[in-house]
A = this chain, B = another copy of it.
Amino acid sequence: MKQEQRNTGLDRETVVRKLREHGITPTQQRVEIATVLFERPQHVCADQVLAQVNAVESLVSKATVYNTLGLFAKKGLIREVLVDPARLFYDSNMIPHHHMYHTDSGMLEDVAPGQVQLGALPEVPEGMVIEGVDVVIRVRRI
């Protein structure tokens, strides 16, 4: 794999710092993937990340993309979004928010948390903690 920096808005140092802040050892491959993820706020699946990372030249393998996305999600750098039964999406926007999913087009939109009033959550069983609350508003053409 090459050492050159990808031409992007986010510089390498910022990405490396971000990884370190989340307890992730910043390897070449992880930095490449993180750079793609944070180029712009977006919803992506593993396949798209793989394609974007390797767009110019082959930098990262499929296994590493899957492993890395899983690691990033576990470490709280990105968030899994379950809307499409066929594939798992990842959201690089960690500011709390919900989603609106267009079932006919597959489009996924962010919904500001203020736009959905989520009140009292139910009791959580003893010894359990809430990992997250996902709200997905499914919409379609009339």
Nearest-neighbour CB distance to chain B for A140, whole angstroms, equals 5
A131 CB-CB contact with B under 8 Å: yes
A141 CB-CB contact with B under 8 Å: yes
Report which of B111, B122, B140 forms a contact with A129, defined as CB distance below 8 A: B140
CB neighbours (8 Å) of A133 from chain B are 135-138
How many residues of chain A get a CB closer than 8 Å to chain B's CBs? 37
Nearest-neighbour CB distance to chain B for A91, whole angstroms, equals 14
CB neighbours (8 Å) of A125 from chain B are 139
> A residues touching B (Cβ–Cβ < 8 Å)?
80, 82-83, 85, 88, 100, 102-103, 111-112, 115-125, 127-142
Extra contacts, 4 of them, besides A85-B88, A127-B141, A132-B137 (Cβ < 8 A), are A124-B137, A133-B136, A133-B138, A134-B138
